[in-house]
Amino acid sequence: MEHLDASAMRDLANDEPTTRTYFARHLASPCEVCEAFLATHVDPLDGHTDALLLGLAPPSESTVGVPPWVPPLAAPRTRRFAAPPARYWGWMAGAVAASVLMVVLSPGEQAPTPGVQGIGEKGTGRISLELAVVARSLDGGLRRLDAGAVVARDEVLLLRYHATESGTALLYQQREHQPAELLGRFPLEAGTHDLEGPEGLTGVSLEADEGPLSLMLVAFAPGEAASEEDALAALEAGVAPDARPGTVARFDVRVQSGQTRAP
């Protein structure tokens, strides 16, 4: 029982105590073997699988006096576009569930700029990019979102991406009828990972939002120019994707006032 497999998933579904205890500890750190199993499992990774993995999350740290995230850091700017494939990572639930501290980005806040432009060898083409999102409530509860999902102002959005190679990404948010705002620049690694900056896991605050909101991650392979101007060009509407620099993954939600909605 070193890694997730069909037998382990059955035990988790049956709430087998030994299996739950083992994987709650095991999935507290990234595991490529378990991630590969989830990515290639013959059954779709639906809400049931997510629920099993979310059930492995530790009790909310806020209930024992530890803040579930750190206060917002540092400054955004500008723009938008492109829809992700219909794919989800049940693995994201387990990985994010183990995290306690994060950097929460708000309008007017920007993640610290990493000291590197990405890791890996120079690429020969564009990065292929997918984006998935989980909402975290004030009490530490997590729920995976479908595109277009309704979220509450008191939730924080956590992002996870899959990239075919290493590079650099700029994260933007855009409200309805407004220009996009730059939330930060991040290094990308090949594979499936949480979006992290030099200060750790990144969360997007919704407290100042209401109505439609789009998150756009603009990725550039090593050797590609990765300035804000290039990112804005990638987000321009009315331009053929092949004519734009970089690769864009987009995730849309609708923010409503009030407290966290039940899953």
Between the alpha carbon of residue 263 and those of residues 134, 210, 223, the distances in Å are: 11, 19, 42
| Rg from Cα positions in the chain | 18
What pLDDT, on the 0 to 100 scale, is given for residue 4?
A: 82
Q: pLDDT tens digits, the chain, 263 residues: what are they?
A: 688 888 888 888 788 888 888 887 787 777 778 777 776 654 444 455 655 665 665 554 444 443 444 333 333 332 222 223 333 344 444 444 444 445 555 555 554 444 433 333 334 468 889 999 988 888 878 888 899 999 999 898 999 899 999 999 999 999 888 888 998 899 999 988 888 877 778 888 888 888 999 999 999 998 888 888 888 888 886 666 666 788 899 999 999 976 655 44
What pLDDT, on the 0 to 100 scale, is given for residue 167?
A: 93
- Region of 196 (left: φ > 0; alpha: ψ -120 to 50; beta: rest) is beta
What pLDDT, on the 0 to 100 scale, is given for residue 71?
A: 38
What pLDDT, on the 0 to 100 scale, is given for residue 149?
A: 93
Helix (H) or strand (E) holding 58: none
